[in-house]
């Protein structure tokens, strides 16, 4: 889902379409835009792809220099033109685009209908233009403030009105919104990635903040109408990074970017003998005061958290709990001021993760955020932030964010271990030396792409697949199975290798492809015996291990030997062939690799 707005000296339609194209990489099922034309609001909407909207737009020439646009991922009401944004009031004086959910929309809608308003869609968003219409008495700013105090929920919204042709008004609560400042023009976008093409000067709206854009100037007020001063935030991305360049898909580009972004994420954080995290404000006394760590995240970020849990317990000797963020609040977690809570989120805007962060903060915990987006909600609400420097991740299937999140967890685990002096200095040096080698070792994996493409042939016709491993390999198996599921639509399941015999092995037939990960040297033999159990049932096994593990390599149907590294850093390397495997199977199945069905890049609704 994404909102985009433009007001300035250039024609609005091309800018709006460009912004929607950038936002569209996050996935959507319908799109639309509104511009001021000949004194009125002109709206064009379309289900399906952006090209469908563009073909509708080509029907006439627009001169407007102000407009708003939206890419929708349906939450209330099926994908169709009527439910696509922008939505307007009864008389077409106000148009609104909105990201998020208006939680009290039903009671508002019933009241507005009782007041004579006519609704055309099933969406929650449509109450907004009707509320504005209801309260409008000439001052649009004051009207928007009044409306925002009536609604509950999350929103990044933009208002366009033919009664105020030189103005756009935007507001944010629990859903990101960025203002871009150009020469006598302003941009609005729900995601940073839509801005660098136009300007690097941005303002990030805080929660319960309103932006009033007029003639290339931005003013900010709170919901009580009080003016707020804001700092400019320089976007450190070039527009080119949000292009595929010579890759067929963003996912492939981002897989191949991993050696570079792994190097970038380590940059400035490794001295010879220790980890240096200037962004952390925790003192050694505070660190030794923590009696527990809690990790919360969703999806791929959760899988990176699983690696972090193991490393923090092994190296920093602190007990670690980990929760899927959407479950965290409901188990009445025992969190207090002696708990360090680590929140992982690539986008920094995932609603489930933000809700968990806020609950942990309410309970008194110290929050460290690990995120890829500067200025994101996680980065602003955590006490400390460790940024992954992966650059914008456009493909919906997360790849480089995951490996750099693992790196950030490695750095944090070492940082905590150093503060508590739990490991000998020599050991620190060895880990750091090996960590510096990981980006080059990641590059070596790409020499085995032909083998990975061959492995894809074992899976591409299957309807199900298993990923198995022990210890850290199990955590990586979870990520490998998610990659396959979300890009190929094959039902894949990750299983602790030792647990298969307790039931799930009943599912395995000779056509079930099994991906077996075996990088944890002390578990080589145990995982091999699990592989033999499934081979005995005729399954085809694709194995990933290190050179020298010959008995395993000879037992599986296809084996890929990974560049050697220590057990704890193996996940960063093991996952890369699994990302490529999912990519090539998805390609073979003719899927939209970058934008798989039903998915969006940042899930900003709970």
Is the Cβ–Cβ distance between 178 and 189 less than 8 Å? yes
Shortest Å distance, C-beta 428 to ligand AGP? 29
Q: Is 235 helix (H, G, I), strand (E, B) or coil?
A: coil
Which range, of 97-105, 390-398, 531-539, 574-582, touches ligand AGP by CB under 6 A?
A: 390-398
Does residue 403 belong to the site contacting ligand AGP (CB under 6 A)? Answer: no
**Total site size for ligand AGP, rule CB under 6 A:** 15
Return all residues near 128 (Cβ < 8 A) that are at least 6 apart: 87, 96, 98, 102, 147, 151, 157, 159
Distance CA 162, CA 444 (A): 58
Span interacting with ligand AGP, options 247-255, 340-348, 379-387, 420-428, rule CB under 6 A: 340-348
Report angle CA 227, 65, 138 to the nearest 5 degrees: 45
Stretch that binds ligand AGP, among 138-146, 211-219, 345-353, 553-561 (CB under 6 A): 345-353
Peptide bond into 564 cis (omega under 30): no
Task: List the one residue from 26, 161, 300, 530 that touches ligand AGP (CB under 6 A).
Answer: 300
CB of 370 to ligand AGP, least distance (A): 9
**Nearer residue to ligand AGP within complex by CB, 241 or 505:** 241
Verify binding: residue 486, ligand AGP, rule CB under 6 A. Answer: yes
Closest by alpha carbon to 476, among 583, 581, 574, 579?
A: 574
Q: Would you count residue 308 as binding ligand AGP (CB under 6 A)?
A: no
Rule CB under 6 A: choose which of 398, 481, 579, 586 binds ligand AGP.
Answer: 398
User: Which residue number, 134 or 483, has a Cβ lying nearer to ligand AGP?
Assistant: 483
What 528-532 contacts at long range (C-beta under 8 Å, 24+ apart), as own/partner pairs, is 528/552, 528/555, 530/468, 530/470, 530/497, 530/498, 530/500, 530/501, 531/497, 531/555, 531/556
State the nearest-atom distance from the C-beta of 396 to ligand AGP, in Å: 5
Residue 390 interacting with ligand AGP (CB under 6 A): no
For residues 74 and 77, give the distance between their C-alpha atoms in angstroms, rounded to a whole number.
Answer: 6
CA dist 110 and 530 (Å) reads 60
Write out the DSSP string of 159-187. EEETTSTTEEEEEEESS--EEEE-SS-EE
Q: Yes or no: say if 595 and 25 are a contact pair by the CB < 8 Å rule.
A: yes
For ligand AGP, the nearest residue by Cβ is 299
* 481 makes contact with ligand AGP (CB under 6 A): no
- Residue 5 contacts residue 197 (beta carbons within 8 Å): no
Cα dist. 14→11, 63, 338 in Å?
A: 7, 11, 53
Q: Which CB sits closer to ligand AGP, 30 or 602?
A: 602
Q: Give yes or no for residue 370 binding ligand AGP (CB under 6 A).
A: no
Q: Which of 328, 603, 604, 605 binds ligand AGP (CB under 6 A)?
A: 603
Across the strands, what pairs with 224?
none
- Min dist CB 373 to ligand AGP, Å, is 8
Could you tell me which residues are beta bridge partners of residue 385?
369
Distance CA 372, CA 602 (A): 12
Interaction of residue 369 with ligand AGP, rule CB under 6 A:
no
CB of 73 to ligand AGP, least distance (A): 12
Residue among 293 and 301 whose Cβ is closer to ligand AGP: 301
- Decide whether 298 or 435 has the Cβ nearer to ligand AGP: 298
Long-range interactions of 40-47: CB distance < 8 A, separation 24+:
40/92, 40/162, 41/88, 41/92, 41/93, 41/94, 41/95, 41/160, 41/161, 41/162, 43/86, 43/88, 43/95, 45/81, 45/84, 45/85, 45/86, 46/81, 46/84, 47/79, 47/80, 47/81, 47/84
Q: Which of 428, 545, 602, 604 forms a contact with ligand AGP (CB under 6 A)?
A: 602
Contact between residue 338 and residue 285 where contact means Cβ atoms under 8 Å apart: no
Q: Is 193 in the site for ligand AGP (CB under 6 A)?
A: no
- Cβ nearer to ligand AGP, comparing 64 with 300: 300
In whole angstroms, how close is the CB of 381 to ligand AGP at the nearest point?
13
- Of the residues 251, 301, 306, 382, which one makes contact with ligand AGP according to CB under 6 A: 301
According to the binding rule CB under 6 A, does residue 579 interact with ligand AGP? no
User: Which residues sit opposite 292 in a β-bridge?
Assistant: 339
Tell me the window of 278-286, 295-303, 511-519, 534-542 that interacts with ligand AGP (CB under 6 A): 295-303
> Closest CB to ligand AGP among 181 and 354?
354
Using CB under 6 A as the binding rule, the residues of this chain from 348 to 367 that contact ligand AGP are 350, 353
Q: Are 350 and 604 in contact (CB under 8 A)?
A: yes
Give 64 or 398: the residue with its C-beta nearer to ligand AGP. 398
* Options 138-146, 311-319, 391-399, 569-577: segment touching ligand AGP (CB under 6 A): 391-399
User: Would you say 436 or 597 has its CB closer to ligand AGP?
Assistant: 597
Residue 304 engages ligand AGP in binding (rule: CB under 6 A)? no
Per-residue contact string for residues 440-479; x = within reach of ligand AGP by CB under 6 A: ----------------------------------------
* Neighbouring residues of 524: CB distance < 8 A, sequence distance ≥ 6: 518, 545, 549, 551, 552
Q: Which stretch binds ligand AGP (CB under 6 A): 254-262, 292-300, 380-388, 540-548?
A: 292-300
Using left for φ > 0, alpha for ψ between -120 and 50, and beta otherwise, residue 421 falls in left
Considering the complex, what minimum distance in angstroms separates the CB of residue 24 from ligand AGP?
Answer: 16
- Summarize as ranges the residues that interact with ligand AGP (CB under 6 A): 298-301, 345-347, 350, 353, 396-398, 486, 602-603
């Amino acid at each position: 889902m994404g909102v985009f707005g433009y007001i300035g000296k250039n024609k609005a339609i091309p800018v709006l379409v460009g912004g929607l194209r950038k936002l569209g990489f996050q996935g959507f099922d319908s799109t639309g835009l509104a511009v001021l034309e000949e004194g009125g609001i002109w709206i064009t909407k379309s289900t399906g792809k952006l090209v469908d909207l563009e073909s509708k737009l080509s029907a006439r020439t627009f001169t407007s220099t102000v407009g708003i646009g939206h890419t929708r991922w349906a939450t209330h009401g099926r994908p169709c033109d009527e439910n696509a944004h922008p939505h307007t009031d009864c008389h077409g004086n106000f148009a609104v685009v909105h990201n998020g959910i208006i939680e009290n929309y039903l009671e508002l809608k019933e009241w507005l209908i009782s007041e004579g308003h006519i609704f055309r869609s099933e969406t929650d968003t449509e109450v907004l233009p009707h509320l504005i219409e209801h309260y409008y008495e000439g001052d649009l700013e004051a009207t928007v403030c009044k409306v925002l105090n009536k609604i509950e929920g999350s929103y990044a919204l933009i208002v366009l009105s033919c009664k105020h042709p030189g103005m756009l008004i935007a507001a944010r609560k629990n859903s990101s919104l960025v203002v871009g400042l150009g020469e006598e023009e302003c941009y609005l976008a729900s995601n940073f990635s839509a801005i660098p093409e136009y300007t690097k000067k941005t303002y990030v709206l805080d929660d319960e903040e309103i932006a009033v854009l007029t003639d290339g100037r931005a003013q900010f007020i709170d919901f009580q109408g009080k003016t707020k001063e804001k700092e400019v935030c320089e976007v450190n991305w070039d527009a080119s990074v949000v292009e595929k360049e010579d890759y067929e898909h963003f996912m492939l580009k981002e897989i191949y970017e991993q050696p570079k972004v792994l190097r970038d994420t380590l940059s400035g954080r490794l001295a010879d003998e220790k980890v240096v995290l200037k962004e952390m404000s925790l003192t050694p006394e505070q660190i030794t005061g923590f009696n527990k760590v809690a990790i919360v995240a969703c999806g791929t970020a959760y899988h990176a958290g699983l690696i972090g849990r193991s490393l923090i317990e092994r190296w920093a000797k602190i007990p670690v709990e980990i929760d899927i963020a959407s479950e965290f609040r409901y188990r009445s977690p025992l969190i207090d001021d002696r708990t360090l809570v680590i929140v992982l989120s690539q986008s920094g805007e995932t609603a489930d993760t933000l809700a968990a962060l806020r609950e942990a903060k309410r309970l008194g915990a110290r929050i460290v955020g690990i995120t890829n987006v500067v200025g994101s909600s996680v980065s602003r609400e955590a006490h400390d932030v460790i940024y992954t420097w992966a650059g914008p991740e456009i493909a919906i299937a997360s790849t480089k964010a995951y490996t750099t999140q693992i790196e950030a967890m490695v750095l944090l685990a070492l940082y905590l271990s150093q503060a508590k002096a739990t490991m000998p200095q020599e050991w620190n040096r060895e880990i750091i030396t090996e960590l510096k080698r990981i980006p080059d070792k990641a590059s070596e994996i790409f020499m085995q792409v032909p083998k990975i493409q061959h492995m894809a042939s074992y899976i591409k016709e299957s309807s199900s697949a298993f990923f198995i491993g022990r210890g850290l390999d199990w955590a990586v198996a979870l990520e490998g199975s998610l990659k396959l599921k979300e890009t190929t639509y094959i039902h894949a399941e990750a299983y602790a290798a030792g647990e298969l015999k307790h039931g799930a092995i009943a599912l395995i037939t000779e056509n079930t492809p099994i991906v077996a990960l075996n990088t944890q040297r002390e578990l080589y033999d145990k995982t091999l015996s699990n592989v033999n159990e499934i081979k005995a049932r005729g399954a085809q096994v694709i194995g990933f291990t290190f050179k020298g593990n010959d008995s395993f390599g000879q037992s599986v149907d296809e084996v890929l030997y990974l560049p050697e590294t220590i057990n704890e850093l193996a996940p960063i390397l093991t996952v890369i062939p699994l990302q490529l495997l999912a990519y090539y199977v998805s390609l073979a199945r003719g899927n939209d690799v970058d934008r798989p069905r039903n998915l969006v890049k940042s899930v900003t609704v709970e």
